[in-house]
Amino acid sequence: MPLRPRAPSQIIREYVYAYGAVCPADGQFVSLILPWVDASLMSLFLTHVADSFQGEHCVICMDGAGWHKASDLIVPSSVTLIFLPPYSPELNPVEHIWEHTRENDFRNTHCNSIDEVMNILEGSLKRLGESRDMVRTMTRFDWLNTLC
């Protein structure tokens, strides 16, 4: 009777999280790559957004993730959060940034380390931050014209 050799292995997954905010009116995009998601890092990101858009009031669309609505979330006074209906990511302009990153920078990509993932992600987000016209084209929805 043939025997199949056993080769035990352990799958190890590592993660990083990209936080991003975009101004569809002018294409400005800011982001941070952080090690996890929680209210404290979301608060850090919201402060980064407020600092990046000084002198402006930012309205940020978000889904209902727990760290977006946490009681200990610190929202700067120049930031207003708007929560989208469940299962409607297509309404969030920044989701098109993530789609672009997946399709253009991670399509058919095999990474051997988290550092390799970070390098690709950093390059992608940097290029988007420098490409305001492209970002505006991806995120300026018709329904936003009444807001922007």
CB-side neighbour CA atoms (13 Å) of 45: 25
- The rounded Cα 8 to chain-centroid distance in angstroms is 35
Residue ranges of domains in the chain, CATH in brackets: 17-100+114-146 (3.30.420.10)
Reported as a single tens digit per residue, the pLDDT across 16-51 is 999 999 999 899 999 999 999 999 999 999 999 999
3-state helix, strand, coil in the chain (%, to 5): 40, 15, 40
- The rounded Cα 41 to chain-centroid distance in angstroms is 13
pTM listed for this prediction: 0.86
pLDDT of residue 5: 79
pLDDT of residue 146: 62
For the chain, report the end-to-end CA distance as a whole number of angstroms. 72
Are residues 58 and 28 in contact, defined by beta-carbon separation less than 8 angstroms? no
28-34 and 79-83 beta bridge pairing: unpaired
* pLDDT reading at 13 higher than 90: no
Reported as a single tens digit per residue, the pLDDT across 82-138 is 999 998 888 899 999 999 999 999 998 888 899 999 999 999 999 999 999 999 999
**E strands along the chain, which residues?**
17-23, 28-34, 58-62, 79-83
Alpha carbon distance 78, 80 (integer Å) = 7
* pLDDT reading at 147 higher than 60: no
Residue 143 is given by DSSP the state G
Are residues 41 and 34 in contact, defined by beta-carbon separation less than 8 angstroms? yes
